[in-house]
Chain A
Amino acid sequence: MFSAATLTGKEVDSAFWVITGICAVLFVLIIFFMLFFLYRYRRSRSPVPGDIEGNATLELSFLGISIVIVLAMFLWGWDGYRMIRGQAPEGSLEVKATGQMWLWTFEYGQGRQSNTLILPYGKPVSIRLFSNDVIHSLYVPAFRVKQDAVPGSEKDLWFTPDETGTFDLFCAEYCGTGHSAMITKAVVVGEADFNAWLAGKKEITPAGAAPAAAAKGEKTGAEKGRELFQSKGCSACHSTDGSKLIGPSFKGLFGKKETVVTAGKEREITVDEAYIIKSEHEPAADVVVGFQPLMPPSPMNDEEIKAVIEFMKTLK
């Protein structure tokens, strides 16, 4: 298994290897008997069957031994489980995470909000988990944690990042067409960097993403729009190459005439700025014919939406 990046994850890993070892030993042992019996008692070698009724001692000792093994595993596994799923320590960093089709949003105190999970190194994090629509599941393989986000209730999980770096964050509960695209990153940085980020003084981008900070300010609206298109989850449903996904493609969309259903009636509209801004805020008000009313209201402000429109205009 690739290395764990949380304190609890490291313990899970050692348990995993011990268990794998035990399984390997059991496998060798049982497979030995199995193959031996299958080979030794073949008809050419053993023409007359033994006709044994059974062996009560063997049976009862198997019962006894297996119950003991199973109880030991229960205690050991439960110990680890309690450690992972128990109460978060006092003074943990609180993050509110919300899943919606097909985007994660993380909110910190002080109004900071992000679509990547930014975390400080070495500090316990307590995540309160919500969903706006269907069941999702927050899963960071490197942290060895997973918890479903269930609409209508609050779930939680906690862990302590023990390595800095960028880690994949997935949705692990089936949530529809965009399920396999509901992916983002967890970025663990030093505490100072984290505090600067929290105060809005610094941007943090996942390793491997385009170096955004460098060109900040000089960026055109369309470039900014492309980034938003990706980070805000639009790309899960809207293509840029004309192919039909869950929503209409953005290619050639701006200025196009579309038939939409408004309050049960069909009407013709032109896709312009006002229409798009309205669609972002109230996606269900007008639904393009041939699509389902699945789009969630966008978390973007009008300025950001305009940037996305600039980007849309470049897709001829």
Chain B
Amino acid sequence: MSTQALLEPSDTAEVAAVKQRFSLKEWIFTTDHKRVAVLYMIGAFAAFFVAGLMAMLMRTELASLGPTVTADPSTYNTWLYFHGAAMILGYQIPALTGFFANYYVPLMIGAKDVAFPRVNALSVWLFWMGIILALLTFVIPDPPDIMWTGYPPYSILTGGNTAFYTFTVLLMGFSSIAGGVNFLTTIIYMRAPGVTWGKMNMFIWCTLAAFIIQIIFVPVLGSAVTMLTFDKYLGTSFFNPAAGGSPLIYENLFWFYSHPAVYVIFLPAIGLIYEIIATFARNRIFNYKKIVYYGVMGVVGLGGIVWAHHLYVAGIPNWMILIHVFMTLIISVPVGLLMIGLLGTLYKGSIHYATPMLYAAGFLFLFLIGGLTGIPNAMSSIYIHLTDTYWMPGHFHYVMAISMTTAIIGGTYYVFPKMTGRMYNETLGRIGFILFFVGVNITFMFTMIMGVKGMPRRYYDYQQFPEIEWMQQIATVGSYIIFLGALVVLISWLHGAFYGRKVGRNPWGSRSLEWTHAPSPPPPGNYGDGVKLPDDWNPYGYGK
């Protein structure tokens, strides 16, 4: 195998030297960015797993008309609430801006750690408190049932415990803001000499962009949910129409954050895909500068003025809709540029198909479908029919949930040898990918078709649609295949971490700093006495 040739003889020795005794206390109080990353990883994948179980329960409930798993619609609503909130706030955002940002940013820029390691520990603690609070949903007598959007006045009137929602959002939000300050500082001030703005890894650019968005927009969501809680428990009436408030203000504030949140997920995810594709195709990033300036920064610049595309039928004024229809279409241009950049990087590459590359290829396909199914949404006349039907879960699972999950799982496979010093089993990796890929396409293709037929979303039952029961059943079978795939992925990681073949510092033959200069796994402090880079160094310099 060609990768074997890249191993240096000293590598295995390095690996043995850093092996340490396990101490829980050290893990909890750690300030090492790589350990913080692992803590984020465990929390995020735990959220993914539990929220995934909720998805399995929902899919099973939907597999037949009438009650299947539960006869109580509010139980279904609680599952759906948990699924949506945990997948976004507990899994995707922390996996990308917590786990990967922590693991990669200091390594890729040649730094010893992040700028404020103790603030970093605070971030991960807040995140874990949020995860624990979210999991309490399953033991409290009045779990929240307000969906991850939490629209008033329902969230004010419901007997469900809206405060759990608010405090989970606030904990995650504070965690993110602390992380944002930390990573922006790290990226701006702690780059090793030679890692200039023009030579930064794509993932670093994307993370920088994502944290700029987080810092600007999270406070808005924080204040919105705080006002919501005041309305419910303290009798204020910001959003309560019974006393002159307006639910539409909340809807606007909520999406003012939650649409940009999509880019907080999207940017680091596509950054990871760039890293994977560059490494496995051994190729330079196609049009690197333009991709960064027009693509990444274009998304940051435009991302804050498209939120109202979630509200075309909510009853906002037509002039506002006009602006947002326009801006939404315009923002597809930088996103398209980012996609073209990926294709360009494949062009004349030398592609090696290990598991991370399979996930990257899967990403291209899934995100393409997600993007194309966004076109009918952007046509405001068609949108009226499609919104709030199953079409929307179908579309956003493609464009966000599933695409970004391929980036997260693929990114984890990619970083795996660096993190553990061992290689996962390639066959298990492939089986997991195939199950996952087949499963998601079955499930969400049928989800979209059901939406076109008019089935509204967030429906516990679908008495008026007996003719689509068979599609629901196929979608359910698809979701079981996804679940099986996720289990195989998990097994391959656990197996690899304990029994995998030992590897050296650069099993993929990458030119990026974390692979060429740090042992696997990197020791605390990463690079010892710092990195010195030759003038012609480039993380994507495969030509020479």
Which residues on A are within 8 Å of B, measured CB to CB? 1-2, 9, 11-12, 15-16, 19-20, 22-23, 26-27, 30-31, 33-34, 37-38, 41-43, 46-56, 58-59, 62-63, 66-67, 70-71, 73-74, 76-81, 83-85, 133-135, 137, 139, 141-142, 144-148, 150-153, 155, 168, 170-181, 183, 243-246, 292, 294
Closest to A55 in B: B287
Q: Please name all residues of chain A whose beta carbon is closer than 8 Å to the beta carbon of B281 when the two chains form the complex.
A: 41, 49
* Residue B527 interfacial (CB < 8 Å): no
B372–A26 contact, CB under 8 A? yes
* Complex A-B, nearest 4 residue pairs according to Cβ-Cβ distance, in ascending order: A152-B241, A141-B454, A50-B348, A80-B381
B326–A37 contact, CB under 8 A? no
A16–B368 contact, CB under 8 A? no
Give the total of B residues in contact with A, Cβ under 8 Å: 91
B333–A63 contact, CB under 8 A? yes
Contact with B368, one of A34, A49, A176 (Cβ below 8 angstroms): A34
B313–A50 contact, CB under 8 A? no
Q: Please name all residues of chain A whose beta carbon is closer than 8 Å to the beta carbon of B425 when the two chains form the complex.
A: none
A151–B333 contact, CB under 8 A? no
A84–B382 contact, CB under 8 A? no
A47–B350 contact, CB under 8 A? yes
Asked whether A12 and B283 contact (CB < 8 A) given A22-B375, A38-B361, A52-B348, the answer is no
Can you list 28 contacts pairing A with B, beta carbon distance less than 8 Å?
A9-B385, A15-B381, A19-B382, A23-B376, A30-B368, A37-B343, A38-B351, A41-B349, A49-B283, A49-B543, A51-B348, A59-B337, A63-B333, A71-B329, A73-B329, A78-B325, A133-B157, A135-B153, A137-B388, A139-B456, A145-B384, A153-B246, A170-B454, A172-B389, A179-B73, A181-B73, A245-B73, A292-B159
Q: Please name all residues of chain B whose beta carbon is closer than 8 Å to the beta carbon of A294 when the two chains form the complex.
A: 157, 159
Closest to B326 in A: A74
Given contacts A51-B543, A77-B381, 19 further A-B contacts (CB under 8 A): A26-B372, A27-B372, A41-B347, A42-B350, A50-B283, A50-B347, A50-B348, A66-B333, A67-B330, A73-B329, A77-B325, A78-B322, A84-B384, A133-B153, A152-B244, A152-B246, A172-B388, A175-B154, A177-B145
Contact with B336, one of A43, A66, A152, A180 (Cβ below 8 angstroms): A66
Asked whether A54 and B458 contact (CB < 8 A) given A73-B379, A153-B246, the answer is no
**In whole angstroms, how far apart are the Cα atoms of A224 and B379 in the complex?**
47
**In whole angstroms, how far apart are the Cα atoms of A49 and B337 in the complex?**
22
A31–B365 contact, CB under 8 A? yes
Q: Please name all residues of chain A whose beta carbon is closer than 8 Å to the beta carbon of B289 when the two chains form the complex.
A: 54
* Residue B226 interfacial (CB < 8 Å): no
Q: What distance in Å separates the Cβ of A254 from its nearest Cβ neighbour in chain B?
A: 23
Closest to B244 in A: A152
Which residues on B are within 8 Å of A, measured CB to CB? 2, 71-74, 77, 145, 147, 149, 151-154, 157-159, 241-242, 244-248, 281-284, 286-290, 294, 313-315, 318, 321-322, 325-326, 329-330, 332-333, 336-337, 340, 343-344, 346-353, 361, 364-365, 368-369, 372-373, 375-376, 378-382, 384-385, 387-389, 452-454, 456-464, 542-543
Q: What distance in Å separates the Cβ of A223 from its nearest Cβ neighbour in chain B?
A: 22
